[in-house]
Structure 1
Amino acid sequence: MDESSKPFLASDGTASEDLETVQLSAGYSRKNPVLAWRTFSAQIGIVIVLALALGVVLGYNLQQIFSAGLTSKVLDGLILPPGEVTETWEHDLLFSQSPTAESEAAWNDLMPIGRGFIRPPEVAPPEITSIVAFHQLHCLHAILMAYYATEENLGRVLDGKGVNPDPQLYGTRIHTHHIRHCFDYLRRAIMCAADTNLEVIDPTNHTTDGWGQAKKCRNFTLVREYAEHWAPNEDTGIVT
């Protein structure tokens, strides 16, 4: 069979010329291997640059997601608690007893220098802010003081001695408006944190006190150290 009778092949040889034109336009000409290699290398370089740019963008977005706390692990639909510190809680009577010099010292030690107020460099212009955890502790302590002040005054009334006139009993303001603020503030704080640690229920009384069971917690010591590092003053103590 002669060339002119072969299908898809022009009798005037234009097919081979068209193929060569395509090869030249793509940079893969057999007549210029150097040009072909340079073109191929440039294309690879562009792909690498684009991949690096994409990696930077994805990395930044992932960092933003982590910082926003949107990557909490989920187990059977339950969002697992944040933190890498494992603690087993036991009832420490020092923090629930009637106030003494020893118990007040323990409460004061929970607060960092600066009492939880900070001036971090990330804020521009620099303003004093407050770390919520230490505000919560302050409120909890105020409620404790108000409870025992009320208990003492009730005992005084029953004994016919009258109410203690000291408006700052035990050195803490326990005015009604302050305690009301603290009740609602702690309510919102508990809902905000939404601690999802699980506690085993006692099979006998069907309740739990939460003691003696391991829990995942954030590192409170590191938070306290951060607060002290950026404290705007040397104030100490938990009292108002």
Structure 2
Amino acid sequence: MFDLCLIGIGTGNPDHLTRQGARAIRDADLILIPRKGDHKADLAELRERIIDDATDGNPPPLAYFDIPPRRSDSGYRQGVDDWHDAIARAWEAAFATATPAPRTVALLIWGDPSLYDSSLRIMTRLDPQPRVRVIAGITALQALTAAHAIPINEIGEPFTVTTGRRLRDEGWPQDTETLAIMLDGDCSFRTLTGKNFYIWWGAYLGMEQELLISGRLDQVTQQIETARARARADHGWIMDIYLLKKHHADSADG
């Protein structure tokens, strides 16, 4: 049996790594690095940079694995389930390359391993089962509200964290005035009409290429779509998140 450590690394800025996370990187016998194709090579390089910074350029052994494609021909849920199985097999193949066998394996996770990340679910598919340790990082949601210098909720009011797919397919959920939207590759805020929505959008949060746009949704929708498409073309990838509020008091655009 080995230990598997899932380390939250924020949104790509090495300064987002906690001291606890840096110590776990130094203590690992092996660190897994996912690869998502040449057009997303920057993602692996960012992980390598974080590891180098945490270890003063003397990292533990690294094992690379390719993220398998996700199929959708069998439906969303089944496609995700099959994809998780395939990723677990890729992890196991990466473990097998290490000599001697590692006692502690680490995997660096964008944001927080508990928030819209499936690493904890994938881990349950490993054979044998490792002992798991999770080290929280700065979440994309924290980075978004900090970048815009705003609170996430109104006084005494709840907020909902959901996905772009659910906003698009199900509309605005009942009993909430504030939505945090993650995993939205289709700009699903376009499905909202009217003048009573306000948005705070951010991409590459905390990084040199950070992008921030805020304003009344009907006035900044096209600006966000254009900025997002241009940034994705320039970098080959994009990680973004946004906050939506209903009935927000009128204010100047950011």
- Give the TM-score of the pair, scaled to structure 1: 0.22
Higher relative contact order (Cα pairs below 8 Å, separated by 6+ residues): 1
Whose Rg is larger?
1
TM-score (norm 2): 0.21
Q: Which has the higher helix share?
A: 1
